[in-house]
Amino acid sequence: MKTLIIVAHPNLDESSTQQFLQAASIDSKVQWHALDNRPLNVAGEQRLLRQADRIIFQFPLYWYSAPASLKNWEDTVLTRAFAYPATGGSLIGKQLGLVISLGQPAAHYAAGAPEQFSLSQLTVPYQALAQRLQMTWLPSFIVDQFGYQSETQKMQLLVDYQRYLTQPSLGHFDGEVDWIVTKLAAINTHQHGPEQQKLALIIDQIKQNEATLEDLQDTLTMLKEGED
């Protein structure tokens, strides 16, 4: 699965949030694509989109929307001939998600909270875009108050963001377990001796737990069927 991150930020180099996310995104199956002031090469942008399975719009929330560069990109690149299902349909079946950074706590975006409206409400135009182009909409990934986060919170953010970019089945615990096991196995290819053996045992134990859970869930399914 290939992921394309389209980053819209007027001062990318000065954003510690975006610098952190860029470092976290480094992966052979992830492409970081920052929009700048240069004219858009429409064919080139469309080629990038065609190659991706998961497309992410990543931006700081400016006046309850994305910076203007993303709207310009949408209006220029998503042509009728390319994107409309009836005439091009190049994005049908692909996933679309948002990574939104906030200066305020995410909890402020709710009915009755200081901002009154939820992020699900504010991002309706993107949801409509996904629906119109027959894409699969992903729950948005929110990064709030990055500058105030502790080191532990940043470590959790790093892994959650990497999973958002590369975990095939988002929102499924099995998918999270498989993703973590794959990452641990990748680390272990660089370990040696006792450290390598220890990590191999850890991976085995996690897989055993996974098998145990699967067996229990099968038993439960059988019990429930017997009760019907």
Partner 1 sequence: MADQKWLIDQLQKLSETSTHFKDRALYLATIKMVIEQQRRIDTAEGEIDGRTWNPSDW
210 binds partner 1 (CB under 8 A): yes
Q: Is residue 202 near partner 1 by the rule CB under 8 A?
A: yes
SS3 sequence of 76-112: HHCCHHHHCCCCCCCCCCCEEEEEEEECCCHHHCCCC
CB 98, min distance to partner 1, A: 22
| Amino acid type, 70 | L
Residue 1 found at the interface with partner 1 (CB under 8 A) = no
Phi-psi region at 170: left, alpha or beta (left = phi > 0; alpha = psi -120 to 50): beta
Binds partner 1 by CB under 8 A, chosen from 72, 104, 120, 156: 156
Q: Rounded to whole angstroms, how far apart are CA atoms 177 and 79?
A: 39
Q: Does 176 bind partner 1 (CB under 8 A)?
A: yes
| Smallest distance, partner 1 to C-beta of residue 3, A | 17
- What is d(CA 8, CA 20) in angstroms, rounded to the nearest whole number? 15
Q: Name which of 126 and 164 has its Cβ closer to partner 1.
A: 164
The total of other beta-carbon atoms located within 10 Å of residue 200's CB is 14
Residue window 84-123: x/- pattern of binding to partner 1, with contact defined by CB under 8 A? ----------------------------------------
Helical H runs in the chain? 16-24, 42-51, 68-77, 80-83, 119-122, 124-132, 151-166, 173-188, 193-227
Q: Of the candidates 42, 142, 158, 200, which one interacts with partner 1 according to CB under 8 A?
A: 158
Q: Which parts of this chain interact with partner 1 (CB under 8 A)? A: 24, 152, 154-156, 158-160, 173, 176-177, 180, 183-184, 187, 198-199, 201-202, 205-206, 208-210, 212-213, 216-217, 219-220, 223-224, 227
